[in-house]
Amino acid sequence: MANNCIQGIKNLPTEQLTHELIDQGILKAPAEWTELAGGRSNRVWHLKINNALDLCVKLYPKHPWQNPLFPNDPLGEHICLKALAPHGLSPKPVAFIKTPVGPCLIYEHIAGTLLEDQVILMAQCLAQLHQLPPLKGLRNASVGSSQMRADGMNILGMCNTPEKDVVHSLMPDTHVAPVAKRWMIHADPVPANVIINQGRAKLIDWQCPALGDPAEDLCHFLSPAMQWLYRQAILSDIEVSSFISSYAQYSAVFDKARFLNLRAWYSWRIAAYCLWQVEHGNSAYKKALKHEISDLKKAHAKIA
């Protein structure tokens, strides 16, 4: 999620990675590399040779920029792909190697289209994910309103512009207890990280997975800021309602009242994150921040 992460590998020639993959036995000959758009933290290429090879190669920075909300965990992504590919929720991993220029994950390319308006397919996908046994070795994400508050305050503590006071003033005052049991979450299920393949939604870019509250995935997907960043549009009230209703239909343990109480907290934390990105020179987040603040103000108006 952070553009600064890829600056160190921006000009890396793919010839160097080709040699690494040949040495590892993954490639038998040089391939044509086509860089895929959309990544904000890592670089990803599509490799194809005579219809006999159809892979993605993902290169992580050797020294990644620290992100206060979306970690960049190469090993965690590899763990998730191995566990989730058999369930049809992720690409199938081929190899994970360490190179002189950074960790590199190779996985099978998924043909399909990016998520646009299939909110029901996304709800089904996340409901399936959240009901799988939690994986070992993943980080613990923040859960409950107290930890949301701590996260948001930590991020705002890194900000200096007057907008900081605006975001701070919109902090919710409700209390929501942490979940009793943590579940596996993607943590970054934005539209660019979803592929529609054979009538199903599949999640890619598993670089910040966690054990946490399924509400985090739902809130990050519904976030006006995240929708705007990747679609230049936000979900309508009807689409939001359809998504929540569909998720509830496919999840036997979904607590809608609890989720609605938590949603403002996640939105507030995302607003703080967007401001942090703006202050680090990422102008794409300016409009995203305005959308998230607008949503927070509507939530406050309803409470009032």
Mean pLDDT of the chain: 91
The average pLDDT across 1-27 equals 69
Give the distance between the most distant pair of CA atoms in the chain. 65
Structure-block tokens of residue 290: 């305005």
Q: Which CATH class is domain 3-109?
A: alpha beta
pLDDT bucket at 13, cuts 50 / 70 / 90: low
Q: Can you give the pLDDT at residue 163?
A: 96
104: closest CA among 49, 61, 138, 139?
A: 61
* 114-303 under CATH 3.90.1200.10, yes or no: yes
d(CA 55, CA 60): 16
Question: Tell me: the pLDDT tens digits for 29-82?
Answer: 888 899 987 666 899 999 987 777 799 999 999 887 789 999 999 999 999 999
Strands 139-140 and 210-212 come out as: parallel
- Assess whether pLDDT exceeds 50 at residue 160: yes
Looking at residue 87, its pLDDT comes to 97
CB 74 within 8 A of CB 60: yes
Residue 132 tokens, joined: 């799988």
Nearest to 107 by CA among 87, 82, 138, 134: 82
Q: What is the pLDDT of residue 6?
A: 39
Residue 122 has pLDDT above 80, yes or no: yes
Please report the pLDDT score of residue 37 as a whole number.
77
Mean pLDDT of 95-116: 90
| Domain 3-109 identical in fold to domain 114-303 | no
pLDDT tens digits for range 183-235: 999 999 999 999 999 999 999 999 999 999 999 999 999 999 999 999 999 99
Q: Where are the domains of the chain?
A: 3-109, 114-303
Report the pLDDT value the prediction gives residue 38, as an integer from 0 to 100.
62
Q: Quick check: 202 and 112 in contact, CB under 8 A?
A: yes
Beta strands 183-185 and 139-140: pairing type?
A: unpaired
For the full predicted model, state whether its pTM sits above 0.85: yes
Residue 304 pLDDT: 47
